[in-house]
Amino acid sequence: MDLYAQVLVSGLLLGGVYALISIGLNLIFGVVRIINFAHGEMVMLSMYLTFWLNYFFGLDPYLSALIVLPVMFAFGFLFQLFVVQPILSTSATMKIFTTVGISLLLQNLALIMWKGDFRSVQTSYSMSSIEVFEIIISVPRLVAFGAALASIIFLYCFLKYTYMGKALRAIVEDHSVARLMGVSVEKHYLFAFGLGTMFTALGGVLLVPFSSVFPTVGITYTLVAFVVVVLGGLGSMSGTFLAGLFIGVVESFGGTFVSPALKEAIYFAIFILVLLVRPQGLFGQGKGTEEVGLK
Amino acid sequence: MKKKVLIFGMSLLLLLTGATGVFSAEKLEIGALYPISGSLALLGEESWRGAEIARLMRNEAGGIAGKEIVFVKGDASTVSAARSEAERLIEQQKVPAILGTYSSSRCMAASEVAARKGVAYFELGAIANAITTRGYNTIWRTNPTAADFSKAQIAFITEWYAPKLGKKPSEMRVSIAHEDSDYGTSVADSFSKMAEGAGVKIVSVEPYAANTSDLSSVIFRLRKAKPDIVMAVSYANDAILLSRQAYELKLKAPILGTGGGHSLQSFVDALGKEANGVLNVDFTQYATNENFAPGLKAFLALYKKTFNENPRSGHSLANYMGANIVFDIIEKTGGSFDVQNIREAAMAMDVPAGKTPTGWGVKFGEDGQNVKAMPLVTQWRDGKLVTVWPEGAAVMEPMIDQ
Amino acid sequence: MITKKLYVIGAFVFLLLLLIPLFFESTFVLHMYTLIFFYTALTAAWNIPAFGGQLSLGHASFFGIGAYAGAILYVKYGVSPWIGIAAAGAFAMLGGMVLSLPLIRLKGPFFTLASIAFAEVLRMIAIDWRSLTNGSVGINIPFKPALMNLTFQSGKPFYYISLTLAVVVVYLTYRIRYSALGFHLRAAASDDEAAKALGVNTSLAHFVALMWSSAITGVLGLFYVFYIYVLEPQTIFSLDLFSLQPALNGIIGGMGTVWGPVIGAVLMTPLGEFLRFYLGTIQQGLNYVVYGLVLVATVRFIPGGIVSLLAPMMKRKSAEKAAKPAIEKEAR
């Protein structure tokens, strides 16, 4: 019985990490309508930045967020401006391959600049955990979970109550209508990409205390983030959070009770099944998905 | 237009054909095939460094048969790249022999190409048993095999650890956690088979993907199986993750790694004092008894001089030792790479254990495997990886705190 | 007249390719050409659903199914790979059917993501189902040279086999493109809703296209594994090698056109190899940096693929004939 509770808690904590990584992708995928295969590489860059800030200046990973987040916002902004904006009018396919190229580029630039070593930051809380009713809760993962929740709430309010947020939501629903309504779509794209990258960077920063950094660390996160975003439904922040938790719990139970080697296969299979039965996602409102499906 | 494109493609190819191999009679070219990009880049390059140091040293001492040794590098970044590169090295660069490869699957593909062409292939680092059991007589391997690793692990468990716990070998409960590529699978298989023979009980086997970001489910399964010791076969990132989550989720059993990630500097960098006590069976590491491995310190100094940093693992040392054996063999054949000559020279070789920088002896079997190569048991102690078993090679006693 | 000239040129190039093995002793040169032919065929097969605008990034799944079907039949049951071809095609087509289920409802990026997930699931199953696939250790094709075993001492037979495969597959895609199926696919690609309104069963067209594509890809997988001797799941189900690479070739050459894949494969295959051994051995990773830049630049500056650069030339030439539709628009 204890084991089930423990597996559930571990799954939820893992899911929190997945949700955190996916929030930024949902913003970018939902607003700019681009399958960003370089998403994981943005996680990777943020992790390296955090690592080097700690290495050279002894900065605590959590504190370094104050530097990493603005830097990555700028990175996302410029990425949209110089890489995505020029190819906006091309097909989805072309956009995918641009990001595939960028992902290849960033991975190997990281390899050239920082070598293939596996680097980690050691903090006092890296491996600390608390026990509640004999259930072990990892502290850095709990922090990531909390950050995911806070980010979701923040974004929810932002999207609901600010002008910019409303404009972004309008673009998610239908960007051509939004344009007709006088929303300067391209400018909002820049902002959305920057913001999305910033939330991704938050994920990267919070990963550093408990996971290593290396040039190909992002690959795993790219796919899982897509699964989470699609399952959660485009444009739905709460959906992303719930889908993240769902995938985390599925992985945890599947890994423990079926086979650790098949845990990823299980959630990929669920992903395909959900796409079959409910293409708008488990928790999505279903708005806008048909439109994305087209081109 | 199809023609234009084809012509362009062909001229690209002709460029490849033409722009290669400025041959000089004073030079002795050997292919050096390692995965130096892609997912195995780190240890692939580390392995190459060892061979490179051996080459530089040999050249300083006058080369082989008065000729300067030159490595023609190849990048076996993937299995199919390994095949392409073997073709290129042999056909375009005309290398008469290839050494490498670090990765078992890359070696399998590349040595297959070499063997079918009758070109000598020297494996200095890959451990899959199958490399030397395919019936080719053009492949030699200087390093120990997966079976040797299993033998050492079982010997350590039954001869040292079981008495420590006051148990009979047959009462020992062992779990295996392994990454599920060919490396982890073949080592785990070979271990299971041998454990059965030795009467050691395998209570659970947990395969997992090396690129995973969470291993808590593996830890839960291990906790359920209640082993006395966990035999782990891991790459770099998963080794760190396994130990971190084992500590966090309070897995009691000690971990016995199998080369790979458990011997890397990054392992101790990540885990700090929690790495203390983690055991590992591996190629010879740097804190090994100098009497057992003469020339070890000298290699370390050379490495620092050449690459300006400390080695990341013992892979460079193993490749250094292996490349030297290859050079010795070619020295004996008078610079000839004829497989028959190499075979005679290799078979005639007999170096007892304790005479090389890795401590391994050299005696090739009919299948080309060096039967005197053996892995050692090491342990992380205060941030250093020291050899603890067997006695002759050890600089410290092993310890296990329960 | 012009088309006649093109045929003559085509025949000339083909003859030239037939003669190459007689002039080059080096099996490395043959190996490069063999790879090019393989990728030409693979890209052309990948391109069939792309006629209808569907982007698959999961073709490694069909490639792997075919490879496993052929290798298991041969190594475990002694069935000649020539007979195995049928099984490879059939099983891969079965895989295509499974993946086609989401096609009924999914389009664009969602189908693409589903195709990636599909290949990943198969890879993990191949690793885990050890009694069938021998897991990650993989299957080795034993070296028993014989025509029946599809194993040869020299590189020449495979040169001709892969050349034949490339010609046959490209010809097949040519036929498909100008058939009723091709017409339906192109209608679906330009406007799926409009095509449906006109009574075109676009779902059926997408389905049939995927059947062709998966079966051909499966057969290619079988030939590939007998060429490379070693079969293991990480390589054969590799996203990079057999899902992204053909798609990339197709896009650089011109997606959804007949000649685009040929051009893409002929250019990109040697480029990748060339970069690896000239740059990759100087500085690890540098080759991929350049490769990534080429990719980004191509999409940026030649979004219709290289074929779109050549299209105006083609159009001018064939203006007299005016029988065939222009091709520049279909890249989208």
Residue A266 lies in a domain: no
Statement: residue A291 has pLDDT above 50: no
Within 8 A by CB and 6+ apart from B360, the residues are: B142, B143, B144, B284, B321, B353, B370, B372, B373, B374
Q: Give Dmax over CA atoms of chain C in angstroms.
A: 62
Report the number of distinct structural domains present in chain B: 2
Residue A47 lies in a domain: yes
CB pairs B-C closer than 8 Å: 146
Mutation test of the interface with chain B: which of A44, A114, A118, choosing the one with the most B Cβ atoms within 10 A? Answer: A118
Q: Kindly report the CA angle at C89 between C85 and C92, in degrees rounded to 5?
A: 135
Interface contact A223-C285, CB threshold 8 A: no
Same domain (yes/no): B89, B105: yes
Interface contact A279-C110, CB threshold 8 A: yes
Statement: residue C248 has pLDDT above 50: yes
Q: Is C65 on the interface with A (CB under 8 A)?
A: no
Per-residue pLDDT band at C97 (split at 50, 70, 90) = very high
Q: Is B94 on the interface with C (CB under 8 A)?
A: no
Report the number of distinct structural domains present in chain A: 1
Residue B278 lies in a domain: yes
In chain A, residues with a C-beta closer than 8 Å to the C-beta of C114 are 271-272, 275
Residue A64 lies in a domain: yes
In chain B, residues with a C-beta closer than 8 Å to the C-beta of A127 are 244, 247-248, 274
Sequential DSSP letters for A130-199: EEETTEEEEHHHHHHHHHHHHHHHHHHHHHHHSHHHHHHHHHHH-HHHHHHTT--HHHHHHHHHHHHHHH
Q: Are strands B279-282 and A129-132 parallel, antiparallel or unpaired?
A: unpaired
Residue B169 lies in a domain: yes
Residue B309 lies in a domain: yes
Same domain (yes/no): B137, B154: no
Structure ipTM over 0.95, yes or no: no
Q: Is C332 on the interface with A (CB under 8 A)?
A: yes
Residue of C nearest to A96 (CA): C109
Mutation test of the interface with chain A: which of C121, C129, C206, choosing the one with the most A Cβ atoms within 10 A? Answer: C121
Statement: residue C253 has pLDDT above 50: yes
Tell me the C-alpha distance between C12 and B396, whole Å. Answer: 74
- C-alpha of B84 from chain center: 22
pLDDT at B377: 93
pLDDT at C262: 92
Tell me which residue range forms the domain holding C47: 2-331
A286's torsion region: left (phi>0), alpha (psi -120 to 50) or beta?
left
For chain C positions 269-328, those within 8 Å of chain A (CB to CB) are 283-286, 288-289, 291-296, 299-300, 303
Report the number of distinct structural domains present in chain C: 1
Number of CB atoms found within 10 A of residue A133's CB: 7
What is each CA distance from C172 to C67, C71, C169, in whole angstroms?
A: 21, 25, 5
pLDDT at C234: 86
Nearest to B9 among C235, C267, C276 (CB): C267
pLDDT top residue among B89 and C22? B89
Statement: residue C312 has pLDDT above 80: no
pLDDT at B236: 85
What is each CA distance from A85 to A33, A40, A167, A168, C254, in whole angstroms?
A: 12, 20, 18, 17, 22
SS3 B72: strand
Same domain (yes/no): B232, B131: no
Same domain (yes/no): B199, B182: yes
Tell me which residue range forms the domain holding B81: 25-144+297-348
Number of CB atoms found within 10 A of residue A252's CB: 25
Q: How far is the alpha carbon of A28 from chain C, nearest alpha carbon, in Å?
A: 14
Q: Give CA torsion, residues A75, A77, A82, A88, to 10 deg.
A: 130
Residue B180 lies in a domain: yes
In chain C, residues with a C-beta closer than 8 Å to the C-beta of B37 are 276, 280, 284-285, 287-288
Mean per-residue pLDDT, A109-133: 86
pLDDT at C2: 55
Q: Are strands B173-179 and B229-233 parallel, antiparallel or unpaired?
A: parallel
Mean per-residue pLDDT, C116-145: 89
In chain C, residues with a C-beta closer than 8 Å to the C-beta of A91 are 303, 331-332
pLDDT top residue among B281 and C197? B281
Q: Is C118 on the interface with A (CB under 8 A)?
A: yes
Tell me the C-alpha distance between C202 and C180, whole Å. Answer: 12
What b/e readout covers A188-222, taking b as 16+ CB neighbours within 10 angstroms? bbbbbbbbbbbbbbbbbbbbbbbbbbbbbbbbbbb
Interface contact A111-B213, CB threshold 8 A: no
- Let me know: does A253 contact B221? Beta carbons within 8 Å: no
Q: What is the pLDDT of residues A48-97, one digit of tens each?
A: 999 999 999 989 999 999 999 999 999 999 999 988 888 888 777 788 88
pLDDT at A10: 93
What is each CA distance from A20 to A146, A221, A226, A228, in whole angstroms?
A: 9, 11, 12, 10
pLDDT at B10: 53
Interface contact C289-A223, CB threshold 8 A: no
CATH number of the domain at B133, please: 3.40.50.2300
For chain C positions 11-50, those within 8 Å of chain A (CB to CB) are none
Mean per-residue pLDDT, A285-292: 47
Within 8 A by CB and 6+ apart from C126, the residues are: C64, C68, C133, C135, C233, C236, C237
Per-residue pLDDT band at C213 (split at 50, 70, 90) = very high
Per-residue pLDDT band at A284 (split at 50, 70, 90) = low
- Let me know: does A93 contact C277? Beta carbons within 8 Å: no
For chain B positions 327-346, those within 8 Å of chain A (CB to CB) are none
pLDDT at B215: 93
In chain B, residues with a C-beta closer than 8 Å to the C-beta of C285 are 37, 41
Same domain (yes/no): B57, B76: yes
In chain A, residues with a C-beta closer than 8 Å to the C-beta of B312 are 117
Among the three residues B333, B348, B363, which one is the final residue of a domain in this structure? B348
Q: How far is the alpha carbon of C164 from chain A, nearest alpha carbon, in Å?
A: 30
pLDDT at C322: 41
In chain A, residues with a C-beta closer than 8 Å to the C-beta of C292 are 101-105, 108
- Let me know: does B172 contact B229? Beta carbons within 8 Å: yes
Residue A261 lies in a domain: no
In eight-state DSSP terms, residue B145 is P
- C-alpha of A218 from chain center: 11
pLDDT at C273: 82
Residue B354 lies in a domain: no
Same domain (yes/no): B175, B265: yes
Same domain (yes/no): B230, B336: no
Q: Which residues of chain B have pLDDT under 50?
A: 1-2, 16-24
In chain B, residues with a C-beta closer than 8 Å to the C-beta of A266 are none
Smallest CA-to-CA distance from C46 within C246, C201, C311, C259 is with C246
Q: What is the pLDDT of residues B82-128, one digit of tens each?
A: 988 999 999 888 899 999 899 888 999 899 999 988 999 999 999 98
Q: What are phi and psi of B248, to 5 degrees?
A: -60, -45
Q: Which subunits sit against C, judged by 3+ Cβ pairs under 8 A? A: A, B
Tell me which residue range forms the domain holding A59: 2-217
pLDDT top residue among A205 and C143? A205
Interface contact B237-A217, CB threshold 8 A: yes
